[in-house]
Amino acid sequence: MSQTLFRRIEQSRIYDWTMRLPIFLYSLYVLVHDVISFSEQAAPDPATSTHLGASAIVAALARVSQWMFIALLGLLPLARHRPVAKSRGLVPRMTALVTVCIPPFCVLLERAPPNLWCNLLAAAAGISASVLGVLTLSFLGRSFSVMPEARRLVTTGPYSIVRHPLYLFELLGVVGILLQVRSLPGALLLALIVALQITRARWEEDILDRAFPEFLAYRQRVPFLLPRDAHGLIALLRNDPVVRRRSAAVMISASGLLAVVVIALPRLVG
């Protein structure tokens, strides 16, 4: 009787929205905490507002790129469809929840001393992760899942290159954060995230296999997490007009956001 009641509750809209909010609120807390921390660090040195060098701008862009990435992780659950199939048992769900919570936590780690090249790589990784993540989401749409669930089988765009492009770009975003940390705890967290993401993806594929008969052929045709051809994304941009249009829209939006940041940076740190 209790199991039947839980299934009815689990299928309700209230339960579905209740499960969306914790990740959003947690990501919002981390984001606000880091923005305040950055402002407090910059405020004591008014000279930075008038003598911003390339190193300071790159360091700030690296920080902003991780804000974009964390904001993306927090907003994703709010727009998803309700699932047509779910994981069985508590372990897959708890594993997925822990996996999603670790990247924002990485933002709270103590940062290493500023390094121009590490910040350049961090900014490149963070911005690329955010841009490619948004591009992937434009194909995934409201089928995004946190828990191992099935909503709709997507096989176009980045999903024609690898079966889990969003997880790949999430890992790239974490690398961008940890390039600013550069510590043993950060490296251990990255290894843990990789292991959890792979496990989470395997559980998700079991559900997709049950929900969509055509998934088997798709799995045999497309690699798991890493593309077979390093130039796969370039080829996709060259051959798929939909990908080109969406990529252009995302890049224009991202460039505009970064331009605003560069213009507003002197006032932000002053």
Mind listing the pLDDT tens digit for each residue in 238-269? 888 888 888 888 778 777 766 766 666 555 55
Residue 212, Cβ neighbours under 10 Å: how many?
16
Q: How far is CA 253 from the centre of its chain?
A: 17
Predicted TM-score (pTM) of this structure: 0.74
Look at residue 94 in the predicted model and tell me its pLDDT.
79
Residue 145 in domain: yes
Residue 74 in domain: yes
Residue with tokens 């999903």, as numbered in its chain: 159
Q: What is the CATH number of the domain that holds 252?
A: 1.20.120.1630
Look at residue 249 in the predicted model and tell me its pLDDT.
80
Residue 9 in domain: no
The encoded tokens of residue 158 equal: 């980045």
**Tens-digit pLDDT profile for residues 203-216:** 889 888 888 899 99
Whole-Å CA distances, 190 to 16, 105, 129, 202: 29, 11, 15, 18
SS3 state of residue 17: helix
Residue 86 in domain: yes
Supply φ then ψ for residue 107, to 5 degrees.
-65, -30
Residue 3 in domain: no
pLDDT-flagged residues of the chain (< 50)? 1, 47-50
Query: Comparing C-alpha atoms, which of 110, 115, 226 is closest to residue 162?
Result: 226
Look at residue 111 in the predicted model and tell me its pLDDT.
84
Question: In the chain, how many domains are there?
Answer: 1
Residue 96 in domain: yes
Residue 226 in domain: yes
Look at residue 67 in the predicted model and tell me its pLDDT.
77
Look at residue 1 in the predicted model and tell me its pLDDT.
45
Query: Comparing C-alpha atoms, which of 185, 179, 187 is closest to residue 61?
Result: 179
Q: Which domain covers residue 161, as residue numbers?
A: 15-35+52-269
Look at residue 150 in the predicted model and tell me its pLDDT.
67
Separation between Cα atoms, residue 83 and residue 143, nearest integer Å: 8
Task: Please list, residue by residue across 23-40, b when 16 or more beta carbons sit within 10 angstroms of its beta carbon and e when fewer do.
Answer: beebbeebbeebeeebee
Residue 99 in domain: yes
On whether the CB atoms of residues 59 and 114 are closer than 8 A, the answer is: yes
Query: Comparing C-alpha atoms, which of 212, 220, 130, 205 is closest to residue 166?
Result: 130
Q: SS3 for 165-225, per residue?
A: HHHHHHHHHHHHHHCCCCCHHHHHHHHHHHHHHHHHHHHHHHHHHHHCCCHHHHHHHCCCC
